[in-house]
């Protein structure tokens, strides 16, 4: 997984098998003005989620597009990075949030929040 901030765009690119698990071939590109904040939390799981398309193996991986009572969300979380959560809140995008587990999530949160403020 690659997360990049290039100028006024945040780009999430999945690599290799990640693309298959998430059923997501194209990168997710979000303009800076649509990023409201990043935080070190995972939204609570609920039985009222519809996965379409994606993969869910409880306790191992949750990847793909999920429709929840909070709106449409993109998830890519894996057990081996469960202590490194990153949730990026969006507005004006098809996804309401991006929910990830990523190495150095604390550093990413600080960089994304500073970048989003301009």
Residue closest to 68 by CA, chosen among 90, 107, 88, 97? 97
Q: What total of structural domains would you count in the chain?
A: 1
Q: Which domain holds residue 69?
A: 2-42+49-117
Each residue's pLDDT tens digit, 3-52: 999 999 999 999 999 999 999 999 999 999 999 999 999 988 777 788 89
Reported as half-sphere exposure (CB side, CA atoms, 13 A), residue 52 has a value of 7
Q: Residue 44: its pLDDT value, please?
A: 81
């Amino acid at each position: 997984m690659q997360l990049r901030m290039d100028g006024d765009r945040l780009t999430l690119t999945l690599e290799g098998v990640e693309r298959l698990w998430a059923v997501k071939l194209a990168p997710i590109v979000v303009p800076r003005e649509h990023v409201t904040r990043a935080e070190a939390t995972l939204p609570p799981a609920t039985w009222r989620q519809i996965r379409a398309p994606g993969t869910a193996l409880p306790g191992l991986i949750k990847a793909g597009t999920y429709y929840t009572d909070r709106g449409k969300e993109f998830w890519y979380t894996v057990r081996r990075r469960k202590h490194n959560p990153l949730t990026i809140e969006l507005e004006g995008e098809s996804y309401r949030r991006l929910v990830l587990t990523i190495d150095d999530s604390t550093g990413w949160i600080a960089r994304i929040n500073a970048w989003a403020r301009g």
